[in-house]
Chain A
Amino acid sequence: MRLPVNLDIALTHIVTRKKQTLVTALGITIGVSIYLFMNSLSSGFSDFSRDNIFQNNAHIEIYKEDEMSQPLFDSGSGVVLISNPQITTSSKKLSNPEKLLHDIKAEPYITNAISLVEFSAVYRRGDTQIQGRGIGVDMLDYADMFQTDELMVAGSIQDLRDNLNGIIIGSGIAEKLSLTVGQNITVSSTEGIYKVLRIVGIFSTGSTQMDETRSYVNTTTAQQYLKEGPSYVTTIYANTVDPDNSLQYIEELAGIIPYAVEDWTVINKDIITQDETRQLMMTAISLAILIMAGFGIYNILSTTISQKIDDIAILKATGFNGRDVINIFLSEALFFGLIGTALGILVGICLIGIMKSIYIGQPVGNFPISVEADLVLLSTLLGLVLTLCAGYFPARRAADVDPVEIFRR
């Protein structure tokens, strides 16, 4: 099978100018590889910070909103009562938590839901005390949702099971109070309950704020701290099938649940905004580099066409029409694009591999970057589209060459 004549001419041009072909393709290679690399980096960071968010936050959180007193009250009898608005919530209790949990779990988009009892805790040893937040929860369910077992640096979550006097504390608390697994710690609540608990585990999340305040006890223990009975629950955490769709889910949940429903994007607005800003910047910079590469191709093809203007004239004289000429030069551009993009993807993947092997310390570990198929696809597509665009305009100019002008020079 012989090549069509236009392609034959294009290929001959490319083969006889190997060096120029290589330089042109390299421009694209650099553009595409940097685009792929930077976007993978940005995406890796986003995934990492997202994983971080989901380490401590459920997709959806349900709690009782504080109620405010009505500032204006019209009794209807002509007497109007005006009062200062203030919180009138007497208890953070969610009523009938078991039915609530059951209802939530029945929703098709909910994958997992657990109930928690939160309380303000003060950790003491001797004169030293640390303010913090205790969470009473079925630790196995909790670990199932947040993979807490992967964060344990000492002891184990299993030991908290059915152990009403056990506690798992953050590594920050353990360090400040110089305590370790097996030792006792005094924990009090704002309700005035004091307990001496045995440390059965220590976890480290990498977030100082978490590690220095958070502790886990059994639900019953937490209820005791709050002087409440066994049906007392303050918060329900729920995970969904698609966290990116959580806004829709909270709307649906709000319809069936009389409490406040919040999703992770509201709670972590600052981190998400940071993420979006970084992603936007990375995209803009890498796109700019890619477009620069496009201008490189435009430039080289324009020069080539100026040099080959005599050839274009004779081709047109001997019967090649404008479309043939566009085909010839667009094929060349596409060839540069294919070689350059293929090399670019290869180089990009190598860069990602190198970056991935760099250890940057706990809690991150190795650089959070990986080769993502959709980014590779996007880079390939952009590389090709860009070369075609950059090639089209010079090719159009070539097609418009008036051969008479050339022959009469």
Chain B
Amino acid sequence: MNDIVLQTQNLNKFFHEPVEFHVLKDINVSVHKGEFVSMIGKSGSGKSTLLYCLSTMDNDYSGEVHILNENVTGRKDKAMAAIRNKNIGFVFQFHYLLPEFTCLKNVMLPALKLGKHTYEEIEDRAYKKLEILGLKDQALKQSIKLSGGQQQRVSIARALINEPEIILCDEPTGNLDTKNTDMVFDVFRQLVDETNKTILVVTHDTDFAAASDRTIEMADGRIVSGNSGLYMEARA
């Protein structure tokens, strides 16, 4: 089971506001290394909530979350931040680029925080990431001067800068046109196929989901199809 990178055990979560609501019910899910998994479901089915529990940003749950075979449940804020910094890349529906910085600097920030490489090395790596995403010529522009599709690609470069094992995405193509959506999909596909990264995408786009390796469907806080057990059987 060593190749499981994301796993939950009896994950339960409640929303207390505005009314008590059982949003995740006994979730037991695992994602394997090198998988490109999509998560679909109606609004309010709990898919985003599950993603944020897996991301270490939401700690208000019962049960356990394992990341890279380590139980991260109940760790301190600082330890969680370090895990995210090193192991998880995020792509959201909006780009969340810092408007004061150039694209290059935006990409560099998580690596500067990690502090594993020198400034020059990080700069070099950031250029390479931007090049992969076709944005090398935009590197020194302020992030607000770019188009929506370009901004989203910069945010993907930022998610990749620390070479994380896991990339978590919440509606990454929700604001993109078809051309950009295809581009983002191709980048994800490439990451999985060529560098064996693991990608978990929450999406409403059924075409996008269909093209992924596996689709987990959620409804009313439970996984209704696409759970790992079934996947393993299918693979075997």
Interface check B113, CB cutoff 8 A: yes
B127 CB → nearest A CB, Å? 17
A319 to B92, CA, bound (A): 15
A318–B158 CB distance below 8 A: yes
| Residue among A5, A314, A315, A321 making CB contact with B82, cutoff 8 Å | A321
A12–B101 CB distance below 8 A: yes
Interface check B16, CB cutoff 8 A: no
B86–A319 CB distance below 8 A: yes
B164 CB → nearest A CB, Å? 10
A318–B100 CB distance below 8 A: no
B78–A408 CB distance below 8 A: no
Given contacts A317-B57, A319-B85, contact A5 B96 (CB under 8 A): no
Interface check B188, CB cutoff 8 A: no
Interface check B41, CB cutoff 8 A: no
Contacts of A319 in B (CB 8 A): 81-82, 84-86, 110, 113-114, 162
B57–A403 CB distance below 8 A: yes
B177 CB → nearest A CB, Å? 22
A317–B78 CB distance below 8 A: no
B85–A2 CB distance below 8 A: no
A13 to B96, CA, bound (A): 16
Interface check A128, CB cutoff 8 A: no
A88 to B109, CA, bound (A): 92
Nearest neighbor of B113 in chain A, beta-carbon distance:
A319
A319 to B110, CA, bound (A): 7
B97 CB → nearest A CB, Å? 8
Q: How many cross-chain pairs have Cβ atoms below 8 Å apart between A and B?
A: 71
Contacts of B139 in A (CB 8 A): none
Interface string of A285-317 (1 = CB under 8 A from B): 000000000000000000000000011011111
A383 to B97, CA, bound (A): 34
A304 CB → nearest B CB, Å? 12
Nearest neighbor of A314 in chain B, beta-carbon distance:
B96
Interface check A8, CB cutoff 8 A: yes
Nearest neighbor of A316 in chain B, beta-carbon distance:
B81
Nearest neighbor of A17 in chain B, beta-carbon distance:
B100
A1 CB → nearest B CB, Å? 10
Interface check A323, CB cutoff 8 A: yes
Contacts of B92 in A (CB 8 A): 407
Interface check A404, CB cutoff 8 A: yes
A407–B81 CB distance below 8 A: no
How many of A's residues come within 8 Å of B, CB to CB?
26
Nearest neighbor of B142 in chain A, beta-carbon distance:
A16
A320–B113 CB distance below 8 A: yes
* SS of A interface (majority): helix
Contacts of B114 in A (CB 8 A): 319
Given contacts A12-B100, A407-B92, A407-B170, contact A321 B81 (CB under 8 A): yes
Given contacts A16-B100, A317-B84, A317-B90, contact A324 B57 (CB under 8 A): no
A18 to B113, CA, bound (A): 26
Interface centre among B82, B96, B101, B162 (most CB of A within 10 A): B96
A343 to B66, CA, bound (A): 54
A407 to B92, CA, bound (A): 7
| Residue among A5, A313, A320, A404 making CB contact with B81, cutoff 8 Å | A320
Interface check B133, CB cutoff 8 A: no
| Residue among A13, A310, A314, A318 making CB contact with B85, cutoff 8 Å | A318
A5–B77 CB distance below 8 A: no
Nearest neighbor of A403 in chain B, beta-carbon distance:
B57
Give chain A interface residues in 371-409, CB to chain B under 8 Å: 402-404, 407-408
Nearest neighbor of B98 in chain A, beta-carbon distance:
A311
B75 CB → nearest A CB, Å? 12
A287 to B78, CA, bound (A): 38
B100–A324 CB distance below 8 A: no
Interface check B112, CB cutoff 8 A: yes
A136 to B28, CA, bound (A): 106
Contacts of B85 in A (CB 8 A): 318-320
A317 to B80, CA, bound (A): 10
A308 CB → nearest B CB, Å? 9
B58–A404 CB distance below 8 A: yes
A324–B96 CB distance below 8 A: no
Interface check B52, CB cutoff 8 A: yes
Contacts of A315 in B (CB 8 A): 98, 109
Interface string of B94-114 (1 = CB under 8 A from A): 001111110001000110111
Nearest neighbor of B100 in chain A, beta-carbon distance:
A16
Give chain B interface residues in 144-187, CB to chain A under 8 Å: 158, 162, 170
B29 CB → nearest A CB, Å? 19
A9 to B112, CA, bound (A): 11
B49 CB → nearest A CB, Å? 8
Contacts of B99 in A (CB 8 A): 311
B52–A404 CB distance below 8 A: yes
Interface check A322, CB cutoff 8 A: yes
A315 to B57, CA, bound (A): 12
A5–B78 CB distance below 8 A: no
Nearest neighbor of B155 in chain A, beta-carbon distance:
A314
A9 to B96, CA, bound (A): 15
Which are the 10 A-B pairs with shortest beta-carbon distances? A319-B85, A321-B81, A5-B112, A314-B96, A318-B110, A16-B100, A321-B78, A2-B119, A404-B52, A319-B84
Extra A-B contacts (10), CB below 8 Å, given A314-B98, A321-B78, A321-B82: A2-B119, A8-B112, A16-B100, A318-B85, A318-B110, A319-B82, A319-B84, A319-B85, A320-B85, A402-B57
Q: Which of B's residues lie within 8 Å of A, judged by CB?
A: 48, 52, 55, 57-58, 77-78, 80-82, 84-86, 90, 92, 96-101, 105, 109-110, 112-115, 119, 158, 162, 170
7 A–B contact pairs at CB < 8 A? Answer: A13-B100, A313-B96, A319-B85, A319-B114, A320-B113, A403-B57, A407-B52
